[in-house]
Structure 1
Amino acid sequence: MSHKVLVPFDGSSSSKQAVQFAISSLKERDSILLINVQRPQYEEYQRVGNISKEELDKFYAQRGEEILQKAENDLKESNCKYEKVIKLGLPSLEITKAAKENSAHSIIMGSRGMSPVLSNALGSVTYSVLHLAPCPVTIVPCKE
């Protein structure tokens, strides 16, 4: 039986360590769903200055692709099966929604991401995912 493991990736060293942990934890038939969530700053606007919402969405998709590229190199080297997805929205909601929609067996994520640190324990996205997740969550501690 194969399992899909969801791994949120924001380019932080903590998320890189989560990818490495996920790779080392996979069984032969398992796969990784690598997700990057871009949080748009325009949610209620059709235009921001001279830029349309569609142009901004394209920008965020491109930025997400660039970030995921950093994890893809490790995934390709390990020869594990993976898919990737870029979402726009609130990270904790999009991560847990993707876990439900893709029937993820588990979520493996870093203890903190790229946003400013508000506590010494867990990042705010990690904390929220723990409470909203439809499946088990493994938190990989940051070794820095």
Structure 2
Amino acid sequence: MLTYKKILVPYDGSEHAKKALAQAVGIASAGKDAKLFIASVCNMVSAMSNFDQVSIAEGVLTTKLSEDLEEQCKSDLKEAASAMPEGIEHEEIYEVGSPGPVLLNMAEEHGIDLIVMGSRGLGPLKGIFMGSVSSYLVSRAKCPVLIVK
């Protein structure tokens, strides 16, 4: 059986992300000395682009949306970490940026053996991951990518 030592799990709180985390925990527990890297990537640009047609005289709305989104991303990461069973080594990673390139960089930076992610997320306002992010990683990652539905 293949064993993976370093597993990256993008997490945004969606049902698909929760299923992916459960799969990653199962894979890690079946191996020896495996470590999960739970990642939350806060995509501010995508969320703000949904408000292009809203006239914002002051930066208050933009600032409030940014703060809310960042708080939600950090909350999602805490949720994932609290769901980790005892005995599974894990590290939480939080970054702001475009999810595809940021996750790809994380994978390379940490020497990831496997990426386990949900097939879709919660959309640009609340969540981060969409089908396009999983497609991006499948086509560019140097390691295997497991897409969980």
User: Which structure 2 residue ranges, 5 or more long, are not aligned?
Assistant: 50-57, 125-129
Quote the residue 1:89 is aligned against: 97
Quote the residue 1:19 is aligned against: 21
> TM-score of the superposition, structure 2-length normalised?
0.75
May I ask how many residue pairs the two structures share in their alignment? 130
Deviation per CA, 1:77-106: give whole Å up to 9, x if none: 343000011111111111111000111011
Whether contact under 8 Å (1:61, 1:86) holds in the other structure is: no
Among the aligned pairs, what percent are the same residue? 28
User: Against the structure 1 CA distance between its residues 111 and 52, is the aligned structure 2 distance closer, same or farther, given a 3 Å change threshold?
Assistant: closer
Whether contact under 8 Å (2:4, 2:113) holds in the other structure is: no
Q: How does 1:100-115 map to 2 (within 5 A)?
A: 100-115=108-123
Q: How does 1:47-126 map to 2 (within 5 A)?
A: 49-50=59-60, 60-75=69-84, 77-115=85-123, 123-126=131-134
> TM-score of the superposition, structure 1-length normalised?
0.77
User: Against the structure 1 CA distance between its residues 52 and 115, is the aligned structure 2 distance closer, same or farther, given a 3 Å change threshold?
Assistant: closer
Secondary structure at the counterpart of residue 44 of structure 2: coil
Q: Does the alignment pair 1:133 with 2:141?
A: yes
CA distance in 2, matches of 1:115, 1:23: 24
